[in-house]
Structure formats: structure tokens, C-alpha cells
Amino acid sequence: MTSSTQEGPVAVIGLGAMGLPVALRIAETRDVRGYDVSAERVALAASGGIAAAASAVDACRDATVVLLAVRDGAQLHDVLFGEHGFAPSLSRGSVVIVTSTVGVRAVQEVASRLEADGVELVDAPMSGGPVRARNGDLLVVVGASDAALATARPVLARMATTLSVVGRRAGDGQALKTVNQLLCGVHIAAAAEALALARGMGLDPAAVLPLLGAGAAESFMLGDRGPRMVEALEGGEPEVRSRLDIFVKDLGIVQDAARAHHVSTPLAAIAEQLFRLGEAHGYGTLDDSALVRLLTS
């Protein structure tokens, strides 16, 4: 009897850009059952050794750990409590790990409904992108009770090199992730503005970028998105490493939170407008370095 059998199967619902590599990573040491609304994604997962489930309910049968990697709060609600939602089929004592960035309120609502059925939610938004997901090198910030975390920890430990427990309530992970995404979104948009201004002033963006990155203007996002923005400025089509519409969603979550807590966040508000304008220009499914195209002609 292998340890994976002892620990039971893990269900992964949502096999998108992040869910699939996470599922593949977990499948290296545990039995994983995967489900996605797209049959294509399920087939892709199956080719990587994941047991294909015919439905979310099917995937979750007998699972003590269900990991959700859905797009947004609406999908989270639907997959659990919608027409084909799997929440009613969960057994008491199982845990649901929410790895998506959906905001505090969405996670708290879901957590309290699950709690009524004896199921605990582990609030565990992840960041790092698909490559780091495949390598188990994500950053995961957690809000969960000690008991729920104990059940979820073996799975989370496979996914993350950095696992930060922010608090004991569902929503604590989302709160930190919300603040994190405020900075990420503003930094990406600031990088686009800076490179657009550099170009406007007659500087060579490719030459400017390393100089900016060497000093006080440095940010992770400048280093990460900067080269792809330079590529876009030079007429290229950068590889999609992080879709622009992700930050349309995440900066919306930032504003929801700022509104709920009566905090003024004017830079994040403007950054949200820039991402939304990018989406309106048809760049939603492009790499978010496409923001620089909005600001140049």
C-alpha cells in the first residue's frame, strides 16, 4: 500500500493555465482526479496521468482534499453550489482548498456555507505562474484553521516553496493577496508608462530598461514584464505569460476591498482603468505587457 493510497485521492477542479500544472505536480506523489468544464482540458490532464472525472461530483467522491483553481468568484460559487455543484456530495471533515484570487467576501460566503455541512475551506491564493506551478515553486498565502491546514498541508507543500500562513480565518489569504495584487497591477502599469515615456523622450527602451532596473526604480514587475514590453514596442508579439484580463479581475477585487473598508486607493483605481481599457482594445487575452501598446502609438 503506497502512501498516496493511504492519504486518498486529491480532487482538482479547474484545469486551466494554473490548475493543470498544479494537478500534474501533485500527481507526481498522489492520486489525482481532475475535472474541468472543458473536455479538452480534461483530456490533456489525462494524458499527463491524472484520472479524468466525468463531473465535479465524480472527481470529489471520497476525496478528503478538493483543490479549486477556478477563474473568479462566480465560478467558485457555481462549481460548489450551482446546478451541478459538488458541495452537497462532500463528506464531513473534508477540506476545500481555494487557490484562486476571488476576494475576501467571496471566500467568506463560501466558507460559511461549507461550514454548515462540516466542511472547512482553506483560503490559499497562489501566485507565481504556470512554470513555477509545474515545479512546485509557488508562493501561497493561507488563511485556515489549524485543523483544516493540517489536512491540506501535504498538498500545499507540494505546490509551494513559500507557504505563508497569514491568519486562521478564510479570507485572510485573500486579504493579503488583494494587497499584493494592488502592488503588482500598479507596478505593471507603471512600467508601461515609464517605457512609453522613455520612447516618447527619444530614449531607446531596450537600453533604458537595465539602467532603471539597477537602481531605486527597480521592481519585480519591471524586470519581469519590462523585456516583453520592449519586445512589444519593437513590434513583436510577446508570449502570453500572464493574461491581461487577470488584472482586470484582480484590480476589481482591490477596488471592492478598498470600498468595503473605506480606503482611498487612487493609483490602483487608475491602473484598473488602464487594464480595462486594454481589454476594451481587444488585449484581454494577450500578455499584460500589451499595456505598453495602449500608451504608445
Q: Which residues are catalytic?
A: 177
- Cα–Cα distance, 126 to 106 (Å, whole number): 16
If binding is defined by CB under 8 A, does position 65 make contact with a second copy?
no
If binding is defined by CB under 8 A, does position 211 make contact with a second copy?
yes
Closer CB to a second copy, residue 51 or residue 240? Answer: 240
If binding is defined by CB under 8 A, does position 183 make contact with a second copy?
yes
CA dist list (Å): 14 to 133, 156, 267: 14, 16, 32
If binding is defined by CB under 8 A, does position 170 make contact with a second copy?
no
b/e sequence 59-90, b meaning 16+ C-beta within 10 Å: bbeebbbbbbbbbbbebbbbbbeeeeebbeeb
If binding is defined by CB under 8 A, does position 208 make contact with a second copy?
yes
C-alpha cell at 233: 514596442
If binding is defined by CB under 8 A, does position 220 make contact with a second copy?
yes
Interface mask toward a second copy for 84-123; x: CB under 8 A: --------------------x-------------------
Closer CB to a second copy, residue 71 or residue 132? Answer: 132
3-class state of residue 167 by DSSP: strand
Which residues make Cβ contacts (< 8 Å) with residue 89, sequence separation at least 6? 57, 60, 61
Closer CB to a second copy, residue 2 or residue 264? Answer: 264
C-alpha cell at 180: 499584493
Closer CB to a second copy, residue 10 or residue 191? Answer: 191
Q: In the range 237-276, which residues lie near a second copy by CB under 8 A?
A: 254, 257-258, 261-268, 270-271, 273-274
- Cα–Cα distance, 160 to 296 (Å, whole number): 38
- Cα–Cα distance, 175 to 125 (Å, whole number): 10
Under the rule (CB under 8 A), what is the footprint of a second copy?
A: 104, 127-128, 139, 141, 162, 164, 166, 172, 175-176, 178-184, 186-187, 189-191, 193-198, 200-203, 207-208, 211-212, 214-222, 224, 254, 257-258, 261-268, 270-271, 273-274, 295
